[in-house]
Chains A and B, each alone.
Chain A
């Protein structure tokens, strides 16, 4: 991997006095996994008690994914249980997604996550209700913080880390489905499908809260991880979302949306749009649009519902006001 040097300047920077200027020390060369067109679907759901499987299944079918005979890894966002806060991907949505992929003929469906803050994954499963949901539906769970590890060369070199030890479950899955919670984030501005992939990086090797990746740069590490373990599909939980001081202590924001996409950059751009934030000002999304997926509207096909005409912007921390101002 080369270490080409270049400067990323978010499109908003000029308007905001450079608030979101991001200097990439390293980069990537030769990798471009973008497809000609990407597809995204926005679904409306009042709450988690509705028939999520009935909502998801026809919507996933529209993407015509090749699922039959494939091993599917669902990667939700589990951090810790904070009563009253929309911190984690909801268990009902995870369970419904798992059943959808089984009905579409998947050879196997497992849920895997390596929480980045609470070190006891079993405790997170119990407290969030996910353990019960998975048990009732007979779905396996893999603790990615403690899975068997494989050393792999990163397919991009933004962080300079070079190699990562990654869980075999994530590397061997035919179909990786990122299932983020739509939230603000006090380090990266937002956390969607790409940031969610931090959870595949094992705590047993890199510590909690995944310190090595933080030291190498969060945006840089997100790009390296997503280049190395491609996201094939996204189901983003925005029914209950979070604004303000996310990802743990923000306020509940009823967004009542689920975002599906066959491209992580497209998904993240759409999630940002639903929060009335500028995705071009989020460093890893902007840079990811150069090689990981599509951000330009002329390369994105909306399936089903259109973007809401009027959106009240999500509250953000003062450091991230440029995400609003640059729209």
Chain B
């Protein structure tokens, strides 16, 4: 569902000024797909939400990214539950990738991220121990969240 979420962000961003009916339909399909893949009680993981009748747990990063894709949707119960799940699970989070995406996501919903940014900065230090450039890049964006243009904020 993560590729779908990013595709949604791109589609919504690119057609915001000149939305075609085809683009609108494609966006609706993507949104419905995300809703369909949501975990029981809110949130998302990278794959199925239920296997052999047993619900799978959501993960932080896919939940944060799905919420970014849904930022301009009506805040239905699923979105509210997912947001509540993310807020709860980010409380003790220290992993750079998940923390960074959480900051970028929560900020879009007007949730204060100052403490999370401080925690992220502590974790990163001077960045020299981070070997994953993708994590470093997302962390850099998250640390400037609210200070510069948010790269994933949709034009409305």
Provide the main secondary structure of the chain A interface. loop
Cβ of A203 to closest chain B Cβ, rounded Å: 8
Q: Please state if B3 and A123 are interface contacts (CB–CB under 8 Å).
A: no
Cβ of A114 to closest chain B Cβ, rounded Å: 12
Interface size on B, residues (CB 8 A): 23
Q: Please state if A119 and B52 are interface contacts (CB–CB under 8 Å).
A: no
Cβ of B4 to closest chain A Cβ, rounded Å: 11
Q: Please state if B54 and A249 are interface contacts (CB–CB under 8 Å).
A: yes
In-complex Cβ contact of B97 among A117, A122, A209, A245 (8 A): A122
Indicate if A263 sits at the interface (CB-CB under 8 A). Answer: no
Q: Please state if B47 and A208 are interface contacts (CB–CB under 8 Å).
A: yes
CA distance A82 to B61 in the complex (A): 16
With contacts A118-B45, A249-B51 known, what are 9 further pairs, Cβ within 8 A?
A: A119-B97, A120-B59, A120-B95, A146-B134, A207-B3, A207-B46, A209-B46, A245-B51, A248-B51
CA distance A208 to B93 in the complex (A): 21
Q: Which chain A residues lie closer than 8 Å to B95 at the CB level?
A: 120, 122-123, 126
Cβ of A65 to closest chain B Cβ, rounded Å: 29
Q: Please state if B56 and A249 are interface contacts (CB–CB under 8 Å).
A: yes
CA distance A119 to B60 in the complex (A): 9
Provide the main secondary structure of the chain B interface. mixed
Cβ of B113 to closest chain A Cβ, rounded Å: 18
In-complex Cβ contact of B47 among A143, A209, A245, A317 (8 A): A209
Interface string of B123-148 (1 = CB under 8 A from A): 00000000010110000000000000
Evaluate whether A117 and B47 lie within 8 angstroms (CB atoms) in the complex, with A208-B2, A317-B52 already known. Answer: yes
Interface string of B35-50 (1 = CB under 8 A from A): 0000000000111000
> Could you list which residues of chain A lie within 8 angstroms of chain B, going by C-beta atoms?
80, 82, 117-120, 122-123, 126, 143, 146, 186, 207-209, 245, 248-249, 317
Indicate if B31 sits at the interface (CB-CB under 8 A). Answer: no
Q: Which chain A residues lie closer than 8 Å to B135 at the CB level?
A: 122
Cβ of B96 to closest chain A Cβ, rounded Å: 6
Indicate if B62 sits at the interface (CB-CB under 8 A). Answer: yes
Q: Which chain B residues lie closer than 8 Å to A119 at the CB level?
A: 2, 46, 59, 61-62, 97
Indicate if B105 sits at the interface (CB-CB under 8 A). Answer: no
